[in-house]
Structure formats: C-alpha cells, structure tokens
Amino acid sequence: MLNSEEQKAVSSRQKADNLSAMARVTRYHKVFLCLLLSAFCLLVVSCRRDMQDQPKAIAYRESKFYKDGTASRPLVEGTVPRGYLRADREFYFGKKSGTVSGSQQPAPAQTGTATNSSAMFPDDVETFPFPITREVLDRGQDRYQIFCSSCHGLTGYGDGMIARRGFNKPAPASLHKDTLRQAPVGHFFDVITNGWGAMPSHASQIPVEDRWKIIAYIRALQLSQMPASNTSTSSDRGSSSTAPVKKQTK
C-alpha cells in the first residue's frame, strides 16, 4: 500500500491533470464560440438587402399585383397638385366664373356689321386681373419681343421675320384689325394659352402672369399705331371701339 506521502503526490497529480483538462475544454469552448459568432456575422451580412434591390413597383412597367396589370396607379379623381388649385378662373384661364376653359371660336355678330366684343367672345374676361403699371408694360414688351414679334412683328401687323421668310399661309394675324381691337383681353389670354389656327400654345413657355403683361403691351401697341385724330382713351375693360387703321407704308 502507498504511504501517506505517495497518496498525496498521486492526488496532486490527479488534480493537476483535472485542471489542465478543464483549461483545455474552456479554451475549446472559447474558440468554438468565436467561430460561431463569426459565422453568424457572415450570415447576417450576406443576407442584407439594399434599398435599390428590394421589391418595388417601377413606373410604367407591368405588375401582376394589381388587377389592371400596371405598376403606375392612376391619381384619385379630383386630385390637384400643390400650388395648382387655379381657383381664380379669371387670372388662370381668362374666363368668367362658371364657364368652361379652353379655346373657343368667335360667335357670329348679332347686330348687322357691328362687332361687339361681348357677343363674339362671351366667356372671356374684359378686365385685367391686376393694375397696369410701367413695370408691367416693360415686362410685357420684353416677353412680346421674344415670343410674339417673330410672327406678329414688332409693331403687331403680322409682318414678323417668320412671315417674311415664307410662313404666311395663313399669314399671322394683325393685332390692329377691328376684331382684335375690340376683342376682350381674355381672348388674347385664351389664344396664348391654347393656341389659335396655325399658332401653337405658348402655355409651356410663358407663365400666366407674363401672358397678361404681354396682353397689356399689345393694348399699348394698338393705341400707338392709331392716328392722332382717331386715338381715344381705352376703357378699363381693355377694349377699343376705334375703327381699324390701315398698315402704314414703310
């Protein structure tokens, strides 16, 4: 039998072996845990989905999600974009309240050969939506020379450079003929907005306020081309009843 000292030595070795084995197990556990965490991180990263890759409806493409098969959804009826309410019909359409916007053909004169602006264009407004000042006329002249003079000419006789170069069938309208002298200002706004005959719409090029300023300058042009003997003060309705004036020889 082992004496007490040998037994103590054996027990000490057994304890040392046990501690060594526990240390190895603990180390293995730590390594395994680190590997497990690394694998989990790689799994999470590999499954990430970028916003540009997520499922979404692309405009104008086919979609099986909706019954009609289109990805773009129609606007709710009556939807108005912010800033486009256009509640002031006189300003935004040149039409009297209660009328339908859009280019209209002149109604036939009802009394003989006399032309009456209200009878020819009954839906168009006859007054400017804001006061006419020198600044308004200056802006109108600038816009007129850019967008209108190429066809209607600098003085409004329909002899612009485009007409001179051959685009004259039909010829651009002279702004000094009697029907346009007596036409309400709303008619000019309607023509600029929606076009008339061979003249296309300028709504995409000329803002609403600038259209009215061009019309104010047209009224000034009409007054400037009238002989002194026939010149009369234009009414606040923006129309003149003066007889037409023949084109001046140049």
Kindly state the tokens that stand for 97: 């309240």
pLDDT in tens, 48-97: 667 777 778 888 888 888 888 888 888 898 899 888 888 899 999 999 98
Tell whether 82 is covered by a domain.
Answer: no
Confidence of residue 158 (pLDDT cuts 50, 70, 90): very high
Kindly state the tokens that stand for 233: 């003060």
> How many domains does one find in the chain?
1
In Å, how far are 30, 34, 39, 40 from 27, measured between CA atoms? 5, 11, 18, 20
Tell whether 136 is covered by a domain.
Answer: yes
Whether the bond between 106 and the residue before it is cis, its omega within 30 degrees of 0, is no
Tell whether 175 is covered by a domain.
Answer: yes
What string of H, E and C letters represents the secondary structure of the chain? CCCHHHHHHHHHHHHHHHHHHHHHHHHHHHHHHHHHHHHHHHHHHHCCCCHHHCCCCCCCCECCCCCCCECCCCCCCCCCCCCCCCCCHHHHHCECCCCCCCCCCCCCCCCCCCCCHHHHCCCECCCCCCCCCHHHHHHHHHHHHHHCHHHHCCCCCCCCHHHHCCCCCCCCCCCCCHHHHHCCHHHHHHHHHHCECCECCCCCCCCHHHHHHHHHHHHHHHHHCCCCCCCCCCCCCCCCCCCCCCCCCC
Return d(Cα 162, Cα 243) in angstroms, integer: 28
Tell whether 153 is covered by a domain.
Answer: yes
For 148, the domain range is 126-243
User: Can you tell me the mean pLDDT for 162-170?
Assistant: 87
The rounded mean pLDDT for the chain is 79
Tell whether 206 is covered by a domain.
Answer: yes
Kindly state the tokens that stand for 129: 């939506």
pLDDT in the model for residue 210: 97
pLDDT in tens, 130-146: 999 999 999 999 999 99
CATH classification at residue 208: 1.10.760.10
Comparing 246 with 189, which gets the higher pLDDT? 189
Tell whether 205 is covered by a domain.
Answer: yes
81-114 b/e (C-beta count within 10 Å ≥ 16 → b): eeeeeeeeebbbbbbeeebeeeebeeeeeeeeee
Return d(Cα 98, Cα 89) in angstroms, integer: 9
User: Can you tell me the mean pLDDT for 13-42?
Assistant: 72
Query: With 50 as the cut, is the pLDDT of residue 248 above it?
Result: no
Tell whether 161 is covered by a domain.
Answer: yes
Comparing 13 with 190, which gets the higher pLDDT? 190
Return d(Cα 73, Cα 23) in angstroms, integer: 66
Tell whether 94 is covered by a domain.
Answer: no
